[in-house]
């Protein structure tokens, strides 16, 4: 009878409790380090037989130091280590244990993670700009929590895939592009094209879903077909020909042009002196008008004089009317 009771108690404690027969707490499961855009988060799953009131404590270590405590007595199932001044090329390992009251479980270690090799690179931001029968693809790198994208992956390239809207099975691709601006040419006018970009790094030459995230699909339509290349070439040729002709004329007729622009005929010296002389406006303002010099004249009229004058005038008139007999 006592054996049956003991077996019942053992089964009940195994199914409903968080302790094993020895009284040690069950440890957390699936302890792992994860990294997205250069952050670092330690995650885990609860014990097989979780109970209420469980708390967790975490520690981490690197290739140059031992374990250090990070999160203490937390109830969540993750601990963010990103703000601990991590090194982008560091190698890190974490561990977690369960606590209930004064009892603790054994430590469970995580995988070792190398940030530059194991972080998941987020999707780039892609913008499209239509220009006639071409489309310009503008790419912005993801933002990292520590360092910068190009600071870690300075040789990263872009794999660009594009297709006509509704015809993804007939897509075209451009691989290993270093420039973040690419122009898609040889497109059909008045056609809608869709584009998707994925990053490739020297550490991940073949992008995988668990290492790099492709961008969202972005679509844009082309417009009128651009002018044929020979039109631009012809315009350039005409402009260059005119420029050469102007230079030749200037060289051949340089003397005549020089004489026309800079004639040799000079003004007389007294003209130059007069034109170059600066008038003294102050003297002109202070000067007086010239003095007029004249003699007084008096005219006296009397009867005899006036009468003699009339006789003379009459005589002169009559003489002038007589014919000359000499």
Residue-range definition of the domain harbouring residue 216: 125-221
The total number of residues shown for the chain amounts to 326
Structural domain contains residue 305: no
Last residue in a domain, options 90, 118, 146: 118
47 with 106, same domain: the answer is yes
Phi, psi of 284 (to 5 degrees): -65, -35
Cβ(179)–Cβ(197) below 8 Å: no
Largest CA distance in the chain: 200
Q: Give the count of domains, the chain.
A: 3
CA pair distance 318, 326, nearest whole angstrom: 17
Q: Answer yes or no: do 198 and 144 share one domain.
A: yes
Indicate whether 114 belongs to any domain. yes
CATH for 40: 2.60.40.10
pLDDT digits (tens, 9 = 90+) for 21-34: 335 789 999 999 99
Q: For residue 18, give the nearest of 110, 101, 85 by alpha carbon.
A: 101
pLDDT digit string, tens, across residues 49-67: 877 889 999 999 998 999 9
Gap between the Cα atoms of 56 and 112, Å rounded: 20
Q: Which tens digit of pLDDT belongs to each residue from 97-144? A: 999 988 999 999 999 999 999 999 999 999 999 998 899 999 999 999
What is d(CA 71, CA 202) in angstroms, rounded to the nearest whole number?
A: 34
Mean predicted lDDT score pLDDT of the chain: 79
Is 122 within 8 Å of 36 (Cβ atoms)? yes
**What's this model's pTM, rounded to 2 decimal places?**
0.59
Q: What does the pLDDT look like over 260-308, one tens digit per residue? A: 667 666 666 766 666 666 665 555 555 556 566 666 767 666 555 445 5
Domain end among 244, 263, 280? 280
Any idea what the Cα angle at residue 250 is, between residues 246 and 256, rounded to 5°? 140
């Amino acid at each position: 009878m006592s054996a049956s009771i003991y077996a019942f108690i053992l089964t009940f404690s195994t199914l409903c409790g968080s302790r094993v027969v020895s009284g040690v707490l069950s440890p957390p499961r699936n302890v792992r380090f994860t990294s997205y855009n250069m952050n670092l988060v330690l995650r885990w799953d609860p014990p097989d037989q979780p109970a209420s009131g469980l708390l967790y404590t975490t520690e981490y270590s690197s290739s140059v130091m031992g374990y250090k405590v990070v999160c203490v007595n937390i109830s969540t199932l993750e601990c963010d280590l990103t703000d601990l001044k991590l090194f982008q090329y560091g190698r890190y390992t974490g561990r977690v244990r369960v606590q209930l009251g004064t009892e603790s479980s054994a430590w469970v270690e995580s995988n070792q993670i190398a940030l530059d090799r194991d972080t998941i690179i987020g999707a780039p931001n892609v913008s499209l700009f239509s220009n006639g029968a071409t489309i310009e693809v503008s790419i912005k790198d993801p933002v990292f929590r520590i360092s910068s994208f190009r600071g870690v992956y300075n040789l990263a390239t872009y794999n660009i895939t594009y297709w006509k809207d509704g015809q993804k099975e007939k897509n075209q691709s451009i691989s290993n592009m270093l420039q973040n601006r690419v122009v898609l040419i040889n497109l059909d006018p008045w056609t809608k094209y869709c584009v998707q970009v994925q990053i490739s790094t020297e550490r991940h030459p073949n992008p995988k879903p668990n290492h790099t995230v492709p961008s969202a699909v972005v679509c844009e339509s082309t417009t009128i077909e651009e002018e044929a290349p020979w039109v631009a070439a012809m315009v350039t040729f005409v402009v260059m020909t005119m420029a050469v002709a102007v230079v030749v004329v200037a060289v051949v007729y340089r003397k005549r042009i020089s004489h026309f622009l800079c004639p040799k005929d000079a003004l007389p010296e007294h003209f130059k002196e007069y034109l170059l002389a600066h008038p003294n406006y102050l003297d002109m303002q202070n000067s007086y008008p010239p003095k007029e010099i004249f003699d007084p004249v008096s005219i006296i009229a009397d009867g005899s004089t006036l009468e003699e004058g009339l006789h003379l005038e009459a005589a002169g008139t009559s003489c002038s009317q007589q014919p000359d007999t000499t």
